Amino acid sequence: MSTEGTCSASAMAEAAAANATPFWKIVILSIFAFPTAFWVVMYLIPQVYMAFRPIPDLKKRYNASWSLVTGGGSGIGKALAFKLARQGLNVVIVSLDDDILKATMKQLKETFPKLEFRSVGVSFSPGVDYLKKIQEATKDIEIQIVFNNAGFLVTGFFDQAPLGKLLANMECNATAAVNISHHFSSKLVSAKKKGCIVFTSSVAGFIPTPFSGMYGATKAFVSQLACSLHIELQSLGIDVCAVHPSPVASNFYNDLDHKIDILESACKQAVPPEDLPDDIFRSIGCCALRDLGAMAWSSRMGTFFLPYNFFTEMFAAAAPFLPDWKTHNKTRA
């Protein structure tokens, strides 16, 4: 029964049914939404867990005495060396043979007089037998913890950069990490020892990086290598991961051939290198890849849904209008 100004229950039901989204549309939307939702959830859960995970004591975790850090003279590498020493580990620092390395060694020895520190002053350049020097310096000790941290950045158009500098960039950022990781992982496997190998990589490896193409390419290589080694070595008790820090206030951005506006803006938000070791340590034994900091997170979250070719073509269309392109294109032949 109905009265004026009201509708019957059946009429209301009919109206609701007419306005309802068809079931087939819900199914299609769910199918397309699921991959995105799944990616976001699977990305965020490990990030949240690692943010609150207790910092592992690597000395106890692997029953280790010695560790090795490349690029340990300054920046992230130096901060890692001090963190390792605070956990009671002796440290071998591999870095350029300069006053910065000497100063860092002096600080470590003065701060931790009961520990032992060794330095290997080498350049990760093509034609330099740096691995032989590392092998010689570590032949009487057992290295179970390796941080492949050394790296530098070459900026400018690929065709304008000296080939020798590009190849040196590849050697330092990628090839040296292969040589060192292969040497120490082989020794760990042969001795049936546990340990870890950590790579300092970058989210630059997951997006096109014009004006610093070699850097992005080497970081893509390093992250891919870390994932593959993570699978190969995890069951043997050897943890492998790559971390992708956001900009860090260090010597990394000094003496660039070409200034890049995007990098200049990023440097304004850079954090001290001493802020990173705790988060890097939390990543060990918990993941294959770890993004650290707001810029790394936003880069991943903001681009994961874009097909890489589409993203590249969008970038290529916009690039000639970018200030960096206009500035550096003037010097092209």
pLDDT per residue over 179-233, tens digit each? 999 999 999 999 999 999 999 999 999 999 888 899 999 999 999 999 999 999 9
Q: How confident is the model at residue 2 (pLDDT cuts 50, 70, 90)?
A: very low
Instruction: Specify the DSSP class assigned to residue 332.
Output: -
Q: Are 47 and 126 in contact (CB under 8 A)?
A: no
Q: Are 66 and 187 in contact (CB under 8 A)?
A: no
Q: How confident is the model at residue 12 (pLDDT cuts 50, 70, 90)?
A: low
Q: How confident is the model at residue 304 (pLDDT cuts 50, 70, 90)?
A: confident
Instruction: Specify the DSSP class assigned to residue 2.
Output: -
For the chain, the domains span 60-329
Question: Which of the pair, 131 or 271, is modelled with greater confidence?
Answer: 131
Q: How confident is the model at residue 1 (pLDDT cuts 50, 70, 90)?
A: very low
223: three-class secondary structure by DSSP: helix
Question: Which of the pair, 322 or 286, is modelled with greater confidence?
Answer: 286
Confidence at residue 37, expressed as pLDDT on a 0 to 100 scale: 85
Place of tokens 């440097």: 267
Burial (Cβ within 10 Å: 0-12, 13-18, ≥19) of residue 118: middle
Q: Architecture of 60-329 per CATH?
A: 3-Layer(aba) Sandwich (3.40)
- The phi, psi pair for 196, rounded to 5°, reads -150, 150
Percent of the chain with pLDDT over 90: 66
Q: How confident is the model at residue 101 (pLDDT cuts 50, 70, 90)?
A: very high
Residues 12, 134: Cα–Cα separation, whole Å: 80
Enter the tokens of residue 233: 């070595």
Helices (H), the chain: 9-19, 23-52, 58-62, 75-86, 99-111, 130-138, 163-170, 176-191, 213-233, 261-267, 277-283, 294-303, 308-318, 323-329
CB-based burial, 181-210: b 16+ in 10 Å, e otherwise:
bebbbebbeeeebbbbbbbbbbbbbbbbbb
Q: How confident is the model at residue 36 (pLDDT cuts 50, 70, 90)?
A: confident
Enter the tokens of residue 275: 């802020």
The single residue of 43, 62, 130, 215 carrying the catalytic annotation is 215
pLDDT digits (tens, 9 = 90+) for 140-171: 999 999 999 999 999 889 998 999 999 999 99
Enter the tokens of residue 169: 């960039």
Residues 324, 253: Cα–Cα separation, whole Å: 16
Q: Is the pLDDT of residue 30 over 90?
A: no
Q: Is 43 a catalytic residue?
A: no
The H-or-E segment that residue 242 falls in is strand 238-245
Question: Which of the pair, 133 or 20, is modelled with greater confidence?
Answer: 133
| Averaged pLDDT score across all residues of the chain | 89
Q: Are 226 and 288 in contact (CB under 8 A)?
A: yes
Specify which residues 93 forms β-bridges with. Answer: 69, 119
Residues 276, 23: Cα–Cα separation, whole Å: 49
Q: Are 254 and 209 in contact (CB under 8 A)?
A: no
Q: Is the pLDDT of residue 287 over 90?
A: yes
